A and B are shown apart, each in its own frame.
Chain A
Amino acid sequence: MSRTLGAYVHVPFCASRCGYCDFNTYTAAELQRDGTSVSVATYADRVISQIQQGHQQRPDPRPLETVFFGGGTPTLMPASELVRILSALRDEYGFAQEIEVTTEANPDSVTREYLRELFDGGFTRMSFGHQSSAPHVLQLLERTHTPGRTWEAVEWAREVGFTHVSVDLIYGSQAETDEDLKNTLTDVVNAEVDHVSAYSLIVEPGTRMAAKVDRGEVSPASDDIAAHRYPLIDDTLRAHGFTWYEVSNWAKPHGECRHNIAYWRNQDWLGIGPGAHAHDNGTRMWNLKHPAAWAAAIDGHLSPWADSEVLSADEQRREHIMLRLRLREGLPIDYLHESGWSQAVQAVLDGLLEQVEDRLVLTDSGRLLADGLVARLWD
């Protein structure tokens, strides 16, 4: 199977930082305080520079199959700027026929016109961060949008022509009840979306939420509660025509995010923007993390890479196991050594895995225990 090429564009801006977030993102105030020249207004130019310089230095004949704008909040940038970046990618690399172009979006930061501009500029897919329909959950997460705004944005997206619309959910937070999650899911299945990503809340070290947990103001997130909520999500979505295709992702037929699948299939992708990761045939690279350092490298025609890692054959094998096991299509058993295979047999007996032809596929309960399984299958 020849490897495909995608592109990830990181947009490191947010209007405000959410309490649980440890992503590489900055508010305008933070960037100003750091005294960098990086801003929403100047960002597209530098991204385009990286695209051009990068292609010059590492020419790649493959056209892009998927493009994904993530953040941060890409939609803090004017739609025209996002389109301009997309055009640069097209000019440098060319697009495959069925190109998938997604951007993440905060429901608050888009209008109908904005979405129309994206659609007309070549975007094919919108991914809205909804997180929860319960105001008290959003409050705990320190999200700024009002819950109803998401469904308005989804409607606009459909109106202007997007057939692929996704919402992101965060479940298992300390403020959430089963009822809250059920209400959220009811909203989701009533909206015209063909894709749902549901992530259990992880309290990452260094976040404001972690500090609150440390101070005892908020209880730590519970894996048991998350494990209890996951089947609620799975069952509800399944009943409404969605199928899981990755541990945290569900889609209606043809609604899968191909960019996402490419990650889990260990395909290649370009990484553009501060902190963005890239993969090229067993070499992983990542950009300088701080926008100012990254911008300085781009401006000076220096390498924007912070570091890279050339994976050994066995590291590549382990990554394949780690990544592909999470997909519904499963892990080809060729990747296992003999002792890993006997672990797999045990996991089948334990009801965590099933064998489908020459692949191993997580069962419903196995999906939640994939990390421990991966480590065992590495044997």
Chain B
Amino acid sequence: MYGTIGFMAATTPQPGATTPEIIRNFCIIAHIDHGKSTLADRMLQITGVVDARHMRAQYLDRMDIERERGITIKSQAVRLPFKADDGVDYVLNLIDTPGHVDFTYEVSRSLAACEGAILLVDAAQGIEAQTLANLYLALENDLTIIPVLNKIDLPAAQPEKYAAELAHIIGCSPDDVLKVSAKTGVGITELLNEVVKQIPAPVGDASAPARALIFDSVYDTYRGVVTYVRVVDGKISEREKIKMMSTNEVHEILEVGVISPEPKPSKAIGVGEVGYLITGVKDVRQSRVGDTITLAGKPATESLGGYRDPKPMVFSGLYPLDGSDFPLLRDALDKLKLNDAALVYEPESSVALGFGFRCGFLGLLHLEIVRERLEREFDLDLISTAPNVIYRVKMDDGSEHIVTNPSEFPDGKIAEVHEPIVRATILTPNEFVGTIMELCQQRRGTLHGMDYLSEERVEMRYTLPLAEIVFDFFDQLKSRTRGYASLDYETTGEQMADLVKVDILLHGDPVDAFSAIVHRDKAYSYGVMMAAKLKELIPRQQFEVPIQAAIGARIIARETIRAMRKDVLAKCYGGDISRKRKLLEKQKEGKKRMKMVGRVEVPQEAFIAALSTDDNAAAKAKGK
């Protein structure tokens, strides 16, 4: 424990002995880069829980990846003692929320642990789609919203304009919008006073059977799983046996406490308080976000509700570049899984890529984060197949297949194919409305509505197939709107669609890693695109290699890699046979590193480049 917080202990209300009236539970809703972490840092500093000397930029974001990407993956809760203008010592619990679309469910649980939210918006940029989506989520949870414009110190700030926009969205007066600079500290104390004034104190029954909501669950190498909870009713004390209401699993509490900002053990936490529990379990699946904790000895009869099993929506095959790393990849996934209840995987093998795992993710960012952690923390070099969604395929004979890998799409008489759809919200300057409509139409979107948030900014609501979003929708949206449009989406169900599997055949042999499920109208362009790409990437062989795209037995696109016609060196000058032999031996050694697809030798770089939507990777592989 740092000494800096010691002097406050005497006057500060203690965990387990804090009346709900002086507690305020709130979170910050903000877009990436709008200054959420800086604001949180500033609050830690102003309330004295961290002094400037100990201030580590973006204190609450622990993981390197989070810090580098400027996003928060895992929320945490910090207890801030605050003497407000009314002279009362309050306890403010700042619950940090993940800021990305893949983690909507986690966000909703964090919101459910709060009574209020600070809506933080960059005064130079205005509100973004994800922020708006999370704001709607907060309003659904009946949270009190405090609108705040940040970065008012920036020359480009337009506080009046965006205050009007915020006021329009949440239905308040522009004068109610606070204006702060988290960087310089201007307006932060005032903001904390508003939190005390506007956000209601938590309400709960201290004498009822204990109920606490799990809003986060983190695996720690030394302590096992650390579970973050908000107590609604009753009290949770150390040494008690608790029960998880979704699974009925019972665990003993080894430690209970609050974060301020380092873990600080206490005897108990009571109604309205936010803290952590350690029970010694080793897997976050045993302590799931959204679940309700009660006491095993005196259980509540009803859970707090809202629990959902995490449901993977996006799938991708992960393969080690070096086949002998397969066991390492397995161990690494087993370790990551301890801290990631949403990650699912099972072994699969690919003719082209060898042994790997088909992994399920909440979304694209989740995929990227997992992949990056595998490469960074476990030093693995990976190939990932193009991400795909989950399909439900009904056959004529009534049987049904769940397809998470395009190469497993069934042959035979297919009656119906169902694909997941999302409700997407796009915020954009009005000049891009036309181009976005065009994009969404190409991506099989249905427009549901359009609202002007202000004179220049429009909210567009679409239903889109998730598969289209997963492909490269976000990149397209950004490039077509010069980065101004923002996107949020939430899965809402599924729809029937005319989908087909396109196989890519090299010299007549299908390459499983390149199979894709696409809408029939786009099968041709996918086939043409992949065939052309592979023609560029695969070196000429001693025989002509046709590259074909096919739906079933029907060829829809074709390219040909012309046969190499000459590889022979003219002579062995002066009888230098050794040199020639060594040259050929070296070439042969190089070929061993190629993957064989039937008789075609394909360099590994070609797979990586073909599976990547990044043109640089393709160019790099080609240069080799």
Contact = CB atoms under 8 A, between A and B. Distances in A.
A107 B446 CA distance: 81
A364 to B, nearest CB: 11
B566 A200 contact: yes
Interface residues of A, number: 49
Contacts of B571: 197, 199, 248
A372 B541 CA distance: 9
Interface string A23-53: 1100000000000000000000000000000
Interface in B527-546: 542-543
A235 interface: no
Contact of B543 (A23, A263, A350): A350
Interface in A244-303: 247-248, 263, 266, 269, 271, 275-279, 284, 286
Nearest to B599: A346
A375 B581 CA distance: 9
Given A318-B581, A367-B568, A369-B542, A24 B587 contact: no
B568 A370 contact: yes
A323 B567 contact: no
A279 B581 contact: no
Interface of B: 542-543, 564-578, 580-581, 584-585, 587-588, 591, 599
Pick from A284, A286, A315, A369 the residue with the most CB of B within 10 Å: A369
Contacts of A369: 542, 564-568
A223 interface: yes
Contacts of B584: 322, 371, 374-375, 378
A202 B569 contact: yes
B563 to A, nearest CB: 9
Contact of A223 (B543, B565, B572, B588): B565
Q: Which 5 A-B pairs have the closest CB atoms?
A: A227-B565, A199-B570, A227-B566, A368-B566, A277-B575
B578 A263 contact: no
Given A228-B565, A248-B570, A278-B575, 15 more contacts: A10-B574, A23-B573, A70-B574, A199-B571, A223-B564, A224-B566, A247-B568, A276-B574, A277-B574, A277-B577, A279-B577, A315-B581, A322-B577, A369-B564, A373-B542
A36 B393 CA distance: 83
By CB atoms of chain A within 10 A, which of B543, B566, B599 has the most? B566
A371 B576 contact: no
A226 to B, nearest CB: 5
Contacts of B591: 375
A309 interface: yes
A318 B584 CA distance: 10
13 contacts: A10-B574, A227-B566, A228-B565, A275-B574, A276-B574, A284-B577, A326-B568, A368-B567, A369-B564, A370-B568, A372-B567, A373-B542, A375-B588
Interface string A312-353: 000100110011001000000000000000000010001010
Interface of A: 8, 10, 23-24, 70, 197, 199-200, 202, 223-224, 226-228, 230, 247-248, 263, 266, 269, 271, 275-279, 284, 286, 309, 315, 318-319, 322-323, 326, 346, 350, 352, 365, 367-375, 378
Contacts of A276: 574-575
Given A24-B574, A276-B574, A322 B542 contact: no
Contacts of A277: 574-578
B566 A284 contact: no
A284 B580 CA distance: 13
Contact of A286 (B565, B576, B587): B576
B618 to A, nearest CB: 22
Contacts of A269: 575
B574 A8 contact: yes
B581 A368 contact: no
Nearest to B586: A375
Contacts of A284: 577-578
A269 B578 CA distance: 14
A100 to B, nearest CB: 16
A199 to B, nearest CB: 4
Nearest to A204: B573
Contacts of B572: 263, 323
Contacts of B570: 199-200, 202, 247-248
B574 A23 contact: yes
B574 A375 contact: no
Nearest to A370: B568
Contacts of A263: 572, 575, 577
A368 B577 CA distance: 19
Contacts of A373: 542
B596 to A, nearest CB: 12
Nearest to B568: A370
Given A369-B565, A371-B568, A319 B577 contact: yes
A223 B574 contact: no
A145 to B, nearest CB: 20
Contacts of A70: 574
B525 to A, nearest CB: 30
A112 to B, nearest CB: 29
A85 to B, nearest CB: 17
Nearest to B588: A375
Nearest to A170: B570
Given A23-B574, A275-B574, A372 B565 contact: no
Nearest to B544: A350
Contact of A372 (B564, B575, B576, B577): B564
A324 B503 CA distance: 43
Contacts of A375: 584, 587-588, 591
Contact of B577 (A227, A323, A367): A323
Contacts of B580: 322
B205 to A, nearest CB: 78
Contacts of A199: 570-571
B573 A226 contact: no
B542 A378 contact: no
B565 A368 contact: yes
A278 B575 CA distance: 7
Contacts of B574: 8, 10, 23-24, 70, 271, 275-277
A367 B567 CA distance: 9
Nearest to A286: B576
A197 B570 CA distance: 10
Nearest to A318: B581
B178 to A, nearest CB: 62
A368 B564 CA distance: 9
A197 B571 CA distance: 10
A321 B573 CA distance: 18
A152 to B, nearest CB: 26
